Amino acid sequence: MGYQVLEETTNFLSNKHKLLIDGNWLDSSDGKSFDVFNPANKNKIAEVCFASSQDVDKAVSSARNSFDRGVWSGMKPLDRTKILWKWADLLESKIDHISEIEVLDNGMPVVIAKTFIQYGLDWIRYFAGMTDKVLGKNISSALTGNGENFHSYTSLEPIGVVGLILPWNGPFGTFLIKVAPALAAGCSCVVKPAEDTPLSALLLAETALEAGIPPGVLNVLTGDASTGEALVHHKDVDKISFTGSTSVGKKIVNACSHDLKRITLELGGKSPCIIFDDCDLETAIPAAAMAIFTNSGQVCFAGSRLYVQEGVYDEFLNGIAEFSKGLKVGNGFDPDTMLGPLISEIQFNQVNKYVQEGLEEGAEVIIGGDGDNSDGYFFKPTVFTKIDPSMKIAREEIFGPVLAATKFKDLDEVISLANDTQYGLGAGVFTTDVNKAHSVAAKIQSGNVWVNHYGGMHSALPFGGYKQSGWGRELGEDGFKAYTEQKTVSIKLST
């Protein structure tokens, strides 16, 4: 297609992309690099340095040094606020350029890239406002008695050096959901973006330097799992925050057990979207379709299991099929595109394999069911019916545009079906009965419940998973506290 990217995008791509260590852009110590591809046409778009364990050592030592010297953690909170705010302003002025990089690197439609980028900017500004609101508690009264007086309080301190490991499905947003609160709390960061999508992290880092974040406070290492492993094992890293698959999350827990590093995990999901007979169909049909098809299903909280009450089941499934047939699959730069390509050949094959297994296990495809990987990794929106809860397509995270639809009779049945999963990240509920909405929200085992809408994240709302969808929360006050340690101080007073 004839989309012309901005000159700064062309210039950025042609750069030699290096590692950011201690405020300097450096080659990897062993000279290795790797190629980055556009999933919409398989073309190489850039070459980035491959950080070795020696580079991890250098970056961690620079972060440690900056933290221990207090160049950032010791800065006046409002000065940190101003720098973070300036960072957001600078990024905002480059939103067209950054969104082009996200489309080229990840494949997502440009409108989605812009939405995700705007979320990220909101997160910086929200956490920038927290630097002087790191509040502890006064607990003096608990200890006073027997004629003795104590003044006791808690305080929150930055946790130290944090290793932040990112997935490929939302590169810009997953960078900021971790880095913004970590910096606001006063931590020094070493970030490891995903090997499939390393580019926006480099732009974010370049802009952070321009905004005035001091050398060593934000380091970025492009590399693969081995780079992540070296970071996780490093003795001078105080905390790991990881977003990615549940299987790698478990490896990280094992690796961190030797020195009991603090850990936050944002992992996979198989989230239910529940449609009751009394819902507003005009709202619910497009919302349930986009719950799974946004970003081609490559969303951790994608509503990949659809449960529809029997009274509206046929009408709803026809509506979903009609709506989804109209969703254009194509290059993310085409303004009509609603589903871009999957990220890679591996992901394309994985989605295809699940679809074949669904068919072999007896499920029926009512729309889609195949893709085209001749140019890029495009897969059609796919809806399965005749689902048995034991089928792989009903249990495992596919991370593609594949929906498994099931009919249910009543609230008890749907709660039991919805909770029959190892995951617990998100859930959607569509009903006009407020009592039913509250009842389902209370009974669903997941970290997030959306009623009469699906997904969407806000700076102030904690986000995270029950069960094997993760540990801890990002965003909101909890997302900030995740980068702090709590200290209790108790002072015995003489009178």
Chain residues that interact with ligand NAD, rule: CB under 6 A:
165-170, 174, 192, 194-195, 224-225, 228-229, 232, 243-245, 248, 251-252, 266-269, 300, 397, 399, 425, 465, 470
| Residue bearing tokens 């019916």 | 385
The residue number whose beta carbon is nearest to ligand NAD equals 228
CB of 217 to ligand NAD, least distance (A): 21
CB of 192 to ligand NAD, least distance (A): 6
Give 289 or 299: the residue with its C-beta nearer to ligand NAD: 299
Give 80 or 122: the residue with its C-beta nearer to ligand NAD: 122
CB of 382 to ligand NAD, least distance (A): 18
For residue 239, the tally of other CB atoms under 10 A from its CB is 21
CB of 178 to ligand NAD, least distance (A): 10
The pair of three-digit structure tokens given for residue 98, joined into one six-digit string: 């950054």
Q: At what angle do helices 225-233 and 53-69 cross, to 10 degrees?
A: 40
AA identity, residue 158: P
| Residue 172 contacts residue 102 (beta carbons within 8 Å) | yes
**How many angstroms from the chain centroid is the CA of residue 371?**
26
Give 191 or 285: the residue with its C-beta nearer to ligand NAD: 191
Give 55 or 266: the residue with its C-beta nearer to ligand NAD: 266
For residue 32, the tally of other CB atoms under 10 A from its CB is 13
What is residue 10's DSSP assignment?
Answer: H
**How many angstroms from the chain centroid is the CA of residue 249?**
14
Q: At what angle do helices 77-93 and 199-211 cross, to 10 degrees?
A: 130
CB of 3 to ligand NAD, least distance (A): 26
Give 319 or 400: the residue with its C-beta nearer to ligand NAD: 400
CB of 332 to ligand NAD, least distance (A): 18
Identified catalytic residue from 100, 229, 266, 397? 266
CA distance 224 to 169: 15
Largest CA distance in the chain: 82
For residue 31, the tally of other CB atoms under 10 A from its CB is 9
CB of 490 to ligand NAD, least distance (A): 38
Give 219 or 243: the residue with its C-beta nearer to ligand NAD: 243
CB of 316 to ligand NAD, least distance (A): 26
Give 408 or 483: the residue with its C-beta nearer to ligand NAD: 483
47 is known as an active-site residue: no
| Residue 150 contacts residue 96 (beta carbons within 8 Å) | no
Give 241 or 331: the residue with its C-beta nearer to ligand NAD: 241
- Strands 239-243 and 161-165, bridge-based pairing: parallel
Q: Which among 238, 248, 244 has a CA at the least distance from the CA of 483?
A: 238
Which residues neighbour 322 within 8 Å (Cβ) at sequence distance 6 or greater? none
The pair of three-digit structure tokens given for residue 325, joined into one six-digit string: 């047939």
The pair of three-digit structure tokens given for residue 132, joined into one six-digit string: 């002087």
CA distance 340 to 106: 9
Which residues neighbour 90 within 8 Å (Cβ) at sequence distance 6 or greater? 207, 210, 211
CA distance 292 to 401: 6
The catalytic residues are 266
